[in-house]
């Protein structure tokens, strides 16, 4: 049976460190990092995420600023707000909650955020810096959390074969770029699988470390995993509960009961990668404050 990688516990440990760091910086500089989160519309899931981010900020001592625009807000209105936040020196990080209503182009908004405040790590400047290995950038939060979990459970990553299932701009692509870099938290041989692969199992069975971020419920089964692999399940899928047709349950992209019998370590869903995402956002916000204020 695989070791369960407890994302909640690890996230809590990291937040303890962030809280201490924020308190130390306030003593040195007289200020604290500030994070602005913008919500457009009334998507219930997005509203929950925004509240969780505000709660995370409060927990570690980061100043939280919340902005809401109506569902019918124009792209021009949102970009004007982003521009105001770019110029607000009290705000060090800006996050516009996705998805956005159809009348607003996500690309326009991402490009409109000052790269120095882009704590989501989606601006092309930060994507480019990540690709060339420039540490003066912000790593996208979910792959950043995945890397943290991997680095804590695989002591020597050099030359390990990391296989990623999924090529999204949010997880798959940035994680591949992060894990191929020449440093102690990476230096892996990286394979990225996606829907064009005729036999994904052929690739996943070669993985020392397997990250699944395909958005497909329980697609990776026990026979697709090499014995002793470390498995990071990024998927969050709500499916019908087979025991009760009136209820749903949360599952990952990995068939946990099967894969946990083969892997050496595995993240659960929920409680694995999920708690890490907001925690790494908080870490990015502290980094933004330090860069903007010349704090060592």
- Of the residues 63, 117, 118, 120, only one is catalytic, namely 120
Residue 255 known to be catalytic: no
Give me the chain's average pLDDT, please: 96
Q: How confident is residue 159, by pLDDT bands cut at 50, 70 and 90? A: very high
Strands 237-241 and 244-251, how do they pair? antiparallel
- Of the residues 53, 63, 173, 283, only one is catalytic, namely 53
What integer pLDDT is reported at residue 245 of this predicted model?
A: 79
Residue 120 known to be catalytic: yes
Say yes or no to pLDDT of 296 above 80.
no
Q: How confident is residue 242, by pLDDT bands cut at 50, 70 and 90? A: confident
The single residue listed with the structure tokens 């607003």 is 104
205-221 burial string, b = 16+ CB within 10 Å, else e?
bebbbbbbbbeebbbbe
- Residue 66 phi, psi dihedral angles, 5° rounding: -115, 135
CA distances from 237 to 34, 163, 185, 195, 259 (A): 32, 21, 29, 18, 17
pLDDT tens readout for residues 247-277: 888 999 999 999 999 999 999 999 999 999 9
Name the 3-class secondary structure at 193. strand
What integer pLDDT is reported at residue 295 of this predicted model?
A: 86
CB contact at 8 A, 8 and 275: yes
For residue 245, what are its two tokens? 């047709």
CB contact at 8 A, 206 and 227: no
The candidate with the shortest Cα–Cα distance to 117, out of 97, 154, 89, 143, is 89
pLDDT tens readout for residues 13-54: 999 999 999 999 999 999 999 999 999 998 888 999 999 999
CB contact at 8 A, 104 and 40: yes
Say yes or no to pLDDT of 148 above 80.
yes
Q: What is the pTM of this model?
A: 0.95
Residue 247 known to be catalytic: no
Q: Which domains does the chain have, with CATH numbers?
A: 29-115 (3.40.50.10860), 141-275 (3.40.50.720)
Sign of CA dihedral 129, 212, 148, 154: negative
Q: How confident is residue 243, by pLDDT bands cut at 50, 70 and 90? A: confident
- Of the residues 97, 118, 147, 287, only one is catalytic, namely 97
């Amino acid at each position: 049976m695989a070791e369960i990688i407890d994302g909640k516990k690890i996230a809590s440990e990291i937040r303890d460190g962030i809280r201490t760091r924020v308190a130390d910086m306030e003593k040195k500089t007289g200020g604290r990092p500030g994070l602005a989160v913008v919500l457009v519309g009334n998507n219930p899931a997005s509203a929950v995420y925004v509240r969780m981010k505000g709660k995370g900020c409060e927990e570690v001592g980061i100043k939280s600023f919340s902005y809401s625009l109506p569902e019918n807000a124009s792209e021009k209105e949102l970009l004007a707000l982003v521009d105001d936040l770019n110029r607000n020196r009290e705000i060090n990080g800006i996050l516009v909650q996705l998805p956005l209503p159809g009348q607003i182009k996500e690309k326009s908004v991402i490009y409109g955020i000052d790269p120095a405040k882009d704590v989501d790590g989606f601006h092309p400047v930060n994507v480019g810096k990540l690709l060339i290995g420039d540490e003066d950038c912000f790593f996208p939060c979910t792959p950043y959390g995945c890397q943290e979990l991997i680095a804590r459970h695989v002591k020597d990553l050099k030359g390990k074969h990391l296989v990623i299932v999924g090529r999204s701009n949010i997880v798959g692509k940035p994680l591949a770029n992060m894990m191929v870099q020449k440093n102690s938290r990476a230096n892996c041989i990286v394979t990225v699988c996606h829907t064009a692969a005729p036999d994904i199992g052929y690739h996943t069975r070669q993985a020392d470390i397997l990250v699944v971020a395909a958005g497909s419920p329980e697609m990776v089964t026990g026979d697709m995993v090499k014995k002793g692999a470390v498995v990071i399940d990024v998927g969050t899928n709500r499916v019908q509960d087979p025991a009760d047709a009136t209820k749903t349950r949360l599952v990952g992209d990995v068939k946990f009961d099967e894969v946990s019998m083969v892997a050496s370590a595995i993240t659960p869903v929920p409680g694995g990668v999920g708690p890490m995402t907001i925690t790494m956002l908080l870490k990015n916000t502290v980094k933004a404050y330090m860069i903007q204020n010349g704090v060592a």
